[in-house]
Amino acid sequence: MLAGFGSRKQPAEGTTTELHAKALALQDAGGTRLVIVTTDLIGIPRPLRDRVEARVVKQFKLPAASLLLNASHTHCGPELRMTTTALEELSEERRQLTTEYCRRLEDALVALVGDSLADRSPARISYSHARAGFAMNRRLKNPDPEGEPYLNHPNPDGPVDHDVPVLQVTWKSPARRAILFGYACHNTTLFVNQYAGDYAGYAQSFLEQDHKETTALFLNGCSGDQNGFPRGTVELSRRHGRTLATAVEAAMQNRQVEVHGPLRVALGHVQLDYQPAPTRKQLEDYLAGVASPFKDYELTRTHAARLLRQIQKGHTLRRTYDFPVQTVRFGRQLVLVALAGETVVDYSLRLKKELRGNGAVWVSGYNNDVFAYIPSRRLLAEGGYEPRRSMNYVTGTIQPGPFDPSIEERIIGKVHELLRLTAPR
């Protein structure tokens, strides 16, 4: 089964474009390493990160902070379910298939990290950036006061991050190049029941076709509330992929900043709080269909049933989440911030402002643990799909409800803390 759209009833019916995992391994003169793994997957389940991490720490002595796993968030990749919560509502057959696939994926990623670390030679690294305009904010204030406060609908006036950061790594023997590029746009511009990398997959393959001896890797941005418009067909997805590849080529022609060492990597966790969970009485009302915190009574009812089941099993509902934050300093030229979850654009816009003076700033989302939308304080105040309704869907973990508005300060605070710890001396 393909992951992402709950409405699908049939397994994948063929392939639009192949899916890839790719790795870029870097090591500075002092021996500090960084492996960036990009994947055409819906997300990185926490258990996948944990298992791959444990194995690469053991096999390759790669510190956890040196491993970055990113998901393009294509909705045309395989279903990944690894926790009891995620598995329990599946049929026996589907459970077996996804479990077997996740095991193979884990092995493949560990081998990929090992191969990339083994294949090293002196390289030059440069950074530049350009812009692409097809991502649009997808939250529109609902003119109907009776409906949800915000609709999932194009909003040409909402916040966006059109930056296309590009890291070029070139080496001589054999002459090759890696192009790592980012963009903040949901990778869901086509609807097919086939394997497909969506616009990010097209962008990578165009760059690899048009530039000899090149590996192109897509690092997802803070695209939680950004969609590519127009959208809906394979042709539109290909067109957005071409647009993004063209922006990457523009960046390659722009003035390059030579990136030097040392590499300074950091990985930390910050506790995020949820808003108080509904009471048992509230949950029973939700289940009975006589109350709902928002307009979708059916979704509220399914979620309430899950939470009540947890209570009946004697579990307490989750109050906090241990959220991973990763930072990388490339000398004094570039800072890469890798946030977990479906990070919304406010994080990259804010961090780019606050981190001025640290060289170029690249903020990425969908890293290491993609378990929920990560709303900002603003989105939590506004309501709608990302901060509120999406929390009622099953991911790896059962969420009791929306996050507390302190989420934004906690995450941003952790980023600053890690960057202080790794500040150049």
Binding site for Zn ion (CB under 5 A): 342
Between residues 117 and 340, which has the closer beta carbon with respect to Zn ion? 340
- Cα distances from 227 to residues 25, 116, 133, 136, 155, in angstroms, run 30, 32, 11, 5, 10
Length of the chain: 425
Quick one: tokens of 406?
Answer: 């302190």
Between residues 48 and 328, which has the closer beta carbon with respect to Zn ion? 48
Contact 96, 62 (CB under 8 A): no
Between residues 79 and 342, which has the closer beta carbon with respect to Zn ion? 342
Report how far residue 34's alpha carbon sits from residue 367's, in angstroms, rounded to the nearest whole number: 14
Contact 341, 373 (CB under 8 A): yes
Shortest Cβ 325–Zn ion spacing (Å):
20
Between residues 291 and 299, which has the closer beta carbon with respect to Zn ion? 299
Shortest Cβ 238–Zn ion spacing (Å):
21
Quick one: tokens of 202?
Answer: 């097209």
Shortest Cβ 343–Zn ion spacing (Å):
11
Between residues 66 and 364, which has the closer beta carbon with respect to Zn ion? 364
Contact 407, 374 (CB under 8 A): yes
| Adjacent-strand bridge partners of 181 | 166, 218
Between residues 342 and 369, which has the closer beta carbon with respect to Zn ion? 342
From the CB of residue 293, how many other CB atoms can be counted at a distance below 10 Å? 16
Shortest Cβ 309–Zn ion spacing (Å):
25
Strand order in the sheet with 21-27: 21-27, 33-39, 67-71
Quick one: tokens of 44?
Answer: 């990185």
Residue whose Cβ sits closest to Zn ion? 342
Shortest Cβ 160–Zn ion spacing (Å):
16
Mark 123-150 as b/e (b = at least 16 C-beta within 10 Å).
eebbbbbbebebbbbbbbeeeeeeebbb
Shortest Cβ 186–Zn ion spacing (Å):
6
Between residues 60 and 199, which has the closer beta carbon with respect to Zn ion? 199
- Residue in this structure with the two tokens 């076709």, named with its chain if needed: 209
Shortest Cβ 345–Zn ion spacing (Å):
13
